[in-house]
């Protein structure tokens, strides 16, 4: 029986949809409280037939599934099965692509997925040898399994995906991520809004990714309305994160470094970068006091920021700050653990002591040295290899004289991540997987739109027309001085 094209409905997509629906029904039978999930099967069948739709299932489904309790419940098990299906579908579509330029472009993303998958396997094995509980090993490994799946799902979404479909997803995810972060942290600081203590998954790195994409779109969109809309989102997201009382969120300001560069490749010259930074800071300084006044007990949150100068100016002030004390304990805990297990680390499933002393501990602590404690020297080296592959991707997605939108997004995200690295381990944030998928998808679609790959770089349209006609060669197009007009 014949089969429709990848963009159309086909028997295999029906099978995927029915499989997902069956999983949801089984989850509902095992846990009747999740019966409503089975009704989402029809939506899954419709959405899963589109590349960006599968990315939306991965990201939005994760925000819902991972935003609940920390254990492995029926929702997370069903979500894990959905991810497995998305990975299988993605690999099938990736392997079907035969274009050499495309294969060269996606190689770093696939290498990233392979390295993260291998790291997850090794850490789970080490955790089992250490005698850590299997349930905790599975819970810990799930975060890194998401990271391993993200590049595959991002590449799959870029095959046949368009900015027209991706940009609404980015905007929605940005609003949800910022709102979830603010609600979660305001509730923890005694300033709950409307009695809410949680919406969906709270993640800083997902907000960083959306901010990076919004900033690049604000600089390069052709429409004035689009530039204004994305510019508003690029300002609103940091404001919401900072308004939660998280002082470390000032690292958003580092993103402006990533967009610094030549205008002809879609970046901002130094003068415009400084001007944009001044405008953003002025807007934040004007808006934040009003935001804090509107929040329950917002004055106390405002005092957290007002006291930054006092903390930095006195060692005694820093040592009396609760956040500093807890982070210092986290650094000591992870350093001691690394020194005890320097080669392979503690592996997955180890419960670290609580830095506050008020709880029984958790699978992670807020310290970048947690990477060394959990994976040791070998695992840390593998994560460095992952960073190298992502840097290769940022280099591959640029072309001479063309917009370098994908590489710019990766640069902006990397600059913010470096600043955040002093506070947490990025890989422990469950939202990092969704950030990775969105960035990879955006970078590849931007690269295709700028005609760097898919054979067009080697065989430009003018050369093709010349071989088909016997007349004189066509007049070359004048060199563009502004690349904004080529971007939708």
Residue 464 above 60 pLDDT? no
What local confidence, expressed as pLDDT, does residue 69 receive? 63
The 3-state DSSP class for residue 337 equals helix
- 483: tokens are 């690349």
DSSP assignment string, 399-465: -TTS--HHHHHHHHHHHHHHHHTTTS-GGG-THHHHHHHHHHHHHHHHHHHTT-STTTTTS-HHHHH
Residue 141 above 50 pLDDT? yes
Tens of pLDDT, residues 113-129: 999 999 999 999 999 99
What local confidence, expressed as pLDDT, does residue 339 receive? 92
Residue 485 above 50 pLDDT? no
- 62: tokens are 């994760």
Q: Give the lowest-confidence range in 144-153, 163-172, 268-277.
A: 268-277
CA 61, 62, 67, 68 torsion-angle sign: positive
Q: What is the DSSP letter of 478?
A: P
Backbone angles phi, psi at 246, to 5 degrees: -85, 100
Residue 104 above 80 pLDDT? yes
Nearest to 231 by CA among 166, 275, 288, 263: 275
| Rg (alpha carbons) of the chain, rounded to whole number | 24
Q: Give the lowest-confidence range in 10-14, 384-388, 422-426, 433-437.
A: 10-14
Q: What is the mean pLDDT of the chain?
A: 76
Q: Give the lowest-confidence range in 53-67, 107-121, 222-236, 387-401.
A: 387-401
What local confidence, expressed as pLDDT, does residue 78 receive? 82
Residue 466 above 50 pLDDT? no
CA–CA separation, 445 vs 447, rounded Å? 5
Nearest to 182 by CA among 84, 332, 301: 301
DSSP assignment string, 266-290: T-B-HHHHHHHHHHHHHHHHHHHHH
What local confidence, expressed as pLDDT, does residue 22 receive? 57
The segment with the largest mean pLDDT, out of 27-41, 182-196, 239-253, 266-280, is 239-253
What local confidence, expressed as pLDDT, does residue 4 receive? 32
- 90: tokens are 């993605």
Higher-confidence residue: 386 or 455?
A: 386
Backbone angles phi, psi at 271, to 5 degrees: -65, -45
Q: What is the DSSP letter of 251?
A: G
- 256: tokens are 């402006």
Q: What is the DSSP letter of 345?
A: -
């Amino acid at each position: 029986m014949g089969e429709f094209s990848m963009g159309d409905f086909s028997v295999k997509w029906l099978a995927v949809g029915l499989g997902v629906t069956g999983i949801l029904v089984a989850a509902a039978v095992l846990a009747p409280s999740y019966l409503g999930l089975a009704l989402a099967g029809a939506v899954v069948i419709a959405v899963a037939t589109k590349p960006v739709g599968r990315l939306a299932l991965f990201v939005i489904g994760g925000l819902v599934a991972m935003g609940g309790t920390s254990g492995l419940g029926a929702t997370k098990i069903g979500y894990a099965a959905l991810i497995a299906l998305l990975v299988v579908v993605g690999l099938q579509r990736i392997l079907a692509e035969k274009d050499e330029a495309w294969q060269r472009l996606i190689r770093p993303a696939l290498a990233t997925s392979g390295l993260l998958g291998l790291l997850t396997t090794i850490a789970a094995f080490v955790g089992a040898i250490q005698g850590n509980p299997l349930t905790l090993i599975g819970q810990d490994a799930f975060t890194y399994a998401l990271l391993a799946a993200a590049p595959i799902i991002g590449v799959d979404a870029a095959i046949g995906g368009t900015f027209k479909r991706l940009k609404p997803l980015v905007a929605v995810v940005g609003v949800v991520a910022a709102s979830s972060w603010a609600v979660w942290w305001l509730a923890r600081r005694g300033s709950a809004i409307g009695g809410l203590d949680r919406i969906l998954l709270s993640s800083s790195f997902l907000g960083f990714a959306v901010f990076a994409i919004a900033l690049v779109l604000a600089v390069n969109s052709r429409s004035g309305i689009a530039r204004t809309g994305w510019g508003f989102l690029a300002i609103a997201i940091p404001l919401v994160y900072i308004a939660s009382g998280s002082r470390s969120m000032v690292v958003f300001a580092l993103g402006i470094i990533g967009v610094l560069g030549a205008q002809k490749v879609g970046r901002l010259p130094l003068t415009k970068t400084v001007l944009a930074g001044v405008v953003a800071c002025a807007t934040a300084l004007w808006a934040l006091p009003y935001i804090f006044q509107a929040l329950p007990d917002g004055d106390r949150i405002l005092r957290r920021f007002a006291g930054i100068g006092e903390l930095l100016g006195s060692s005694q002030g820093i040592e009396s700050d609760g956040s500093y004390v807890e982070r210092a304990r986290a650094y000591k805990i992870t350093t001691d653990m690394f020194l005890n297990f320097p080669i392979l680390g503690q592996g997955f499933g180890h419960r670290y002591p609580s830095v506050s002393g008020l709880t029984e501990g958790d699978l992670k602590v807020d310290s970048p040295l947690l990477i060394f404690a959990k994976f040791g020297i070998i695992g840390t080296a593998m994560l460095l290899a992952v960073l190298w592959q992502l840097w290769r991707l940022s280099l591959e997605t640029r072309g001479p004289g063309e917009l370098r939108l994908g590489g710019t997004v990766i640069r902006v995200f990397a600059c913010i991540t470096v600043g955040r690295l002093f506070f947490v381990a990025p890989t422990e944030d469950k939202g990092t997987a969704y950030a990775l998928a969105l960035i990879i998808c955006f970078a590849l679609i931007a690269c295709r739109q700028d005609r760097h790959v898919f054979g067009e770089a080697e065989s430009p349209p003018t050369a093709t027309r010349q071989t088909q006609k016997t007349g004189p060669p066509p007049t070359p197009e004048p060199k563009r001085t502004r690349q904004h007009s080529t971007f939708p």
